[in-house]
Amino acid sequence: MSANLVWLESLQGSGIRPGLGRMRAVLRALRHPERAFQSIIIAGTNGKGSTSATLASILTVSGVTTGLYTSPHLVDLRERWMINGRMIEGAALEASIDLLRRASKKIGILPTYFEALTLIAFVAFREAQCEITVLEVGMGGRLDATNVVRPIAALITPIGFDHTEFLGGTLRKIAAEKAGVIHRGAFVLTTNTEPAVIEVLRRRAEKFGNRFLVVDDEHATPLRGDFQRHNVALAVRAARELGIDEDAIARGVARTHWRGRLERIEIGGKTVWVDGFHNAHAVSAVLPFIEENLPQPRLLVFGMMRDKPIDAVARALFPLFDRVIATDPYPPRSESAGDLAARAVAMGIDAKAEPKPERALRRAMRSPHRNILVGGSLYLAGAAIAYFDQQSERAGKKKNR
């Protein structure tokens, strides 16, 4: 690992430190890379990533040099920074980190890990001469590291209960934090249906005299799950507001690829679905898909972060499966596999604890179940994709011998 990547990784333990002061100070030292392009910012509880990926795909197809910044990555760190649909090149990432490291040292301010990742995005997109960037908010909105831009558009996906310790314990409070990404001059689109949430967002938009629209239609999409049609409709409406022609929109939607979101993998005579659902709102969206697309008997490989609403998710999800293999995708932040398995057993469901994700996946593949869902955390989704990609690669090499 290079010295620059070692420095970046050293910031991992920095935790969450709300506030934009560090971001603004480092951006000044970097000569404001965030002003080198137009930005579209996307906030919400669920659906931010797929909405961002769809809109970036449309922009790229239309001929706009497009940067896409999302989190977290599933397999490769470089997934966080996409330029015209491709992961950032290693050399470009190294150069961006180096610029950031030097600027940080010069002014004596050390950013948090997420702030550093966001600053790298701004530097990398400036160096790539991006015309428009699509920025997925990490958490909340008002104090999120991405919220240092003055966007031309703010898109708000469905808002639910998540990160309540930082954002507040009511939907109105959470919506107010998300609404913080709305600034003067940005048109505002949302797919929220909760009247209280819409009222908060509308009030913020009206404060600046911004165009505000609730998008309540659906749009065909290559991404699986009925809920994705609303996410794609949001991206499509944003593209229309930007004046992109219908042919580019159609081609951009068709080319959208977003891994780890109800991703289907056919391997070893089994159908495996991988999804990063990680809160009660996301699970409620996935439940109908499970019942319609995973014939019984079903097996669940499950792992979840300990700061998520584990009880609510377990009560809704576990009864749909006749077997659960619990795992621990990101210790010590994730709930222990033993505790998760105990919850399933208490519900009368056959369950085993296998702390290491790779072993949990191997155990699932050795089971008699032909229909498997892997999820509960994007960290687990990433581990599953890496594991199954490796298995497919090995099988391909054997076939070609």
Which three-class secondary structure string do you get for 205-265? HHHCCCCEEECCCCCCCCCCCCCHHHHHHHHHHHHHHCCCCHHHHHHHHHCCCCCCCCEEE
The closest of 167, 171, 396 to 281, measured between CA atoms, is 171
What pLDDT sits at residue 160?
80
Is 370 a residue whose pLDDT tops 80?
A: yes
What pLDDT sits at residue 162?
63
Distance CA 156, CA 198 (A): 10
Spatial neighbors of 80 by CB under 8 A, at least 6 apart, are 69, 70, 71, 72, 73, 117, 121
Is 138 a residue whose pLDDT tops 80?
A: yes
What's the pLDDT tens digit per position in 312-322? 899 999 999 99
Please tell me the number of Cα atoms within 13 Å of 277 on its side-chain side. 33
Is 39 a residue whose pLDDT tops 90?
A: yes
The continuous run of DSSP H or E covering 17 comes out as: none
What are 81's strand-pairing partners? Answer: 69
The closest of 65, 59, 56 to 37, measured between CA atoms, is 65
What stretches of 159-213 show up as alpha helix (H) in DSSP? 164-167, 171-178, 195-207
175-196: average pLDDT: 95
What pLDDT sits at residue 202?
97
- pTM more than 0.95: no
C-alpha angle with apex 8: 5 to 12, nearest 5 degrees? Answer: 130
Q: 223: which 2 tokens? A: 């991404």
Map out the domains of the chain with their CATH numbers. 3-254 (3.40.1190.10), 263-399 (3.90.190.20)
What are φ and ψ of residue 189, in 5° steps?
Answer: -125, 145
C-alpha angle with apex 227: 316 to 80, nearest 5 degrees? Answer: 100
Distance CA 342, CA 326 (A): 9
pLDDT category of residue 144 using cuts at 50, 70 and 90: very high
Q: Calculate the average pLDDT of the chain.
A: 92
Q: 102: which 2 tokens? A: 């030097």
